[in-house]
């Protein structure tokens, strides 16, 4: 998508040298648009772990380039580099999916050809991600068109949580892809943007990218969604996901489950957008089986933002000496999910629904 009129992807190979990897430092957004240059796999590990890149699809794509950077230095480092990159984030399934795809492609490639093959495969992963997200936008669009029709052309209010926009993917986004498409088609959409504490990806990143594209939106505290639904001010919820189980349970940013409960209680459709690499058919029960990353307490006890003088600062918001816990994801059971939006169309959040669209994954 565009920043100040210039089209970008969220990861690319530097055209000047043909091998280094470029990303936006998302820990600096929205305060500053800074492009980083990654030159080895250790920088990629740091970028993923420190959330300079985040968003399940983007993590997978950047990890694939991390492997390419490793093989450029040492073609024999394939397994060790994949192992190291795989340990960076435990919840997102795309990371493992991308690394396994790279391993399968490269294990039997002669050492002298590995680096070039890795760059080609990583580029393919990126192009496929863009194509999938574009398709998610097409398949999600009718949900917004129908809501607009129900409202007689009135504003369609869509609530989203965290950031599942273009900067969480290679381009387009997942949850935001139908929204960008609807907006571009002239449907009057308005997005309730959950702040998404503790890291504020909603207030910082989703608000930033919607604003840059000109999509009307309003930031709200994570606490507000239930009230807005109770008052009829939400027509539709669309969120992204870090992992969907074979029966349709959805792991996503902490707090998603609370919004799904509120949507159910108020008859608001609750849709989850996912490219198929996010589907993990190896597990069924999301609550029991998906490992939930526990991140550092300081994310909860602190908040980062801009001081009046324009410098970025971190302030402690919790009382001195109080400990904090920071589970980063939760699991929304399939029973609370109206449906899934994938690159092959929409389906019920169930094994029947998913296997109808992706029979080869359930064979």
Least gap, CB of 178 to a copy of itself (angstroms): 20
Structure tokens at 19: 């091998």
Q: How far is CA 342 from CA 95, 257, 304, 326, 357, in A?
A: 18, 20, 34, 30, 9
């055209």: which residue's tokens? 15
Least gap, CB of 154 to a copy of itself (angstroms): 18
Q: For a copy of itself, give the closer residue by CB, 185 or 306.
A: 306
CA distance 274 to 132: 9
Q: For a copy of itself, give the closer residue by CB, 226 or 339.
A: 226
Q: Residues binding a copy of itself: what is the number (CB under 8 A)?
A: 68
Q: Which residues are catalytic?
A: 242
Q: How far is CA 326 from CA 195, 223, 330, in A?
A: 16, 17, 11
**What is 134-163 written as a DSSP string?**
HHHHHHHHHHHHHHHHHTTTPPEEEEE-S-
Is residue 75 within the footprint of a copy of itself (CB under 8 A)? no
Q: For a copy of itself, give the closer residue by CB, 96 or 253.
A: 253
Is residue 193 within the footprint of a copy of itself (CB under 8 A)? yes
Q: Give which of 55, 72, 60 is closest to 17, Cα–Cα.
A: 72
Is residue 253 within the footprint of a copy of itself (CB under 8 A)? yes
Q: Which of 8-16, 127-135, 226-234, 238-246 is the region at the interface with a copy of itself (rule: CB under 8 A)?
A: 226-234
Binds a copy of itself by CB under 8 A, chosen from 116, 221, 282, 345: 221
Binds a copy of itself by CB under 8 A, chosen from 9, 105, 183, 197: 197
CA distance 24 to 58: 11
Instruction: Calculate ∠ Cα 48-49-54, nearest 5°.
Output: 45
Binds a copy of itself by CB under 8 A, chosen from 196, 276, 278, 342: 196
Least gap, CB of 5 to a copy of itself (angstroms): 17
Half-sphere exposure of 287 (CA within 13 A, CB side): 5
Is residue 331 within the footprint of a copy of itself (CB under 8 A)? yes
CA distance 244 to 42: 29
Q: 132: Cβ–Cβ under 8 A, 6 or more apart, which residues?
A: 275, 276, 343
Longest dimension (CA), the chain: 63
Q: For a copy of itself, give the closer residue by CB, 116 or 313.
A: 313
Q: 277: helix, coil or strand? A: helix
Least gap, CB of 283 to a copy of itself (angstroms): 16
Structure tokens at 204: 């910082």
Q: For a copy of itself, give the closer residue by CB, 25 or 127.
A: 25
Q: For a copy of itself, give the closer residue by CB, 29 or 82.
A: 29
Is residue 2 within the footprint of a copy of itself (CB under 8 A)? no
Q: 241: helix, coil or strand? A: coil
Q: For a copy of itself, give the closer residue by CB, 214 or 345.
A: 214
Least gap, CB of 335 to a copy of itself (angstroms): 10
Q: Which of 64-72, 125-133, 150-158, 251-259 is the region at the interface with a copy of itself (rule: CB under 8 A)?
A: 251-259
> What is the C-alpha end-to-end distance of the chain, expressed in Å?
36
Is residue 109 within the footprint of a copy of itself (CB under 8 A)? no
What residues between 265 and 324 interact with a copy of itself by CB under 8 A?
Answer: 265, 287, 292, 300-308, 312-324
Contacting positions for a copy of itself (CB under 8 A)? 30, 192-193, 195-198, 200, 203-205, 207-208, 210-211, 217-228, 230-231, 253-255, 257-259, 261-262, 265, 287, 292, 300-308, 312-327, 329-331
């Amino acid at each position: 998508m565009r920043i100040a009129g210039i089209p970008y992807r969220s990861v690319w190979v530097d055209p000047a040298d043909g091998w280094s990897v470029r990303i936006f430092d998302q820990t600096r957004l929205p305060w500053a648009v800074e492009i980083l240059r990654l030159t080895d796999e250790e920088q990629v590990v740091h970028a993923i772990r420190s959330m300079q890149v985040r968003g399940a699809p983007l993590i997978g794509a950047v990890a694939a380039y991390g492997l390419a950077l490793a093989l450029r230095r040492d073609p024999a480092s394939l397994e060790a580099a994949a192992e190291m990159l795989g340990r960076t984030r435990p919840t997102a399934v795309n990371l493992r999916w991308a690394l396994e795809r790279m391993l399968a492609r490269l294990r039997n490639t002669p050492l002298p050809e590995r680096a070039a093959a890795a760059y080609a495969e990583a580029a393919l992963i990126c192009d496929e991600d863009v194509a999938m997200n574009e398709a998610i936008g097409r398949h999600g669009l009718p949900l917004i068109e129908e809501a607009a029709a129900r409202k007689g052309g009135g504003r369609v209010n869509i609530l989203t949580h965290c950031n599942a926009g273009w900067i969480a993917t290679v381009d387009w986004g997942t949850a935001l892809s139908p929204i960008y498409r609807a907006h571009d088609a002239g449907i009057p959409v308005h997005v309730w943007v959950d702040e998404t504490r503790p890291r504020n990806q909603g207030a910082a990143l989703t608000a930033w990218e919607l604003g840059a594209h000109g999509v009307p939106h309003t930031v709200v505290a994570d606490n507000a969604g239930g009230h807005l639904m109770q008052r009829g001010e939400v027509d539709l919820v669309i969120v992204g996901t870090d992992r969907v189980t074979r029966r349709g349970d959805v792991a996503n940013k902490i707090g998603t489950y609370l919004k799904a409960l509120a949507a159910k209680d108020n008859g608001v459709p609750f849709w989850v957008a996912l490219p198929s690499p996010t589907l993990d058919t190896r597990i069924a029960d999301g609550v029991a089986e998906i490992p939930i990353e526990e991140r550092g307490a300081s994310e909860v006890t602190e908040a980062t933002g801009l001081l009046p003088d324009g410098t970025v600062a971190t302030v402690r918001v919790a009382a001195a000496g109080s400990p904090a816990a920071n589970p980063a994801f939760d699991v929304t059971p399939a029973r609370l999910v109206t449906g899934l939006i994938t690159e092959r169309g929409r389906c019920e959040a169930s094994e029947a629904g998913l296997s109808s669209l992706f029979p080869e994954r359930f064979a």
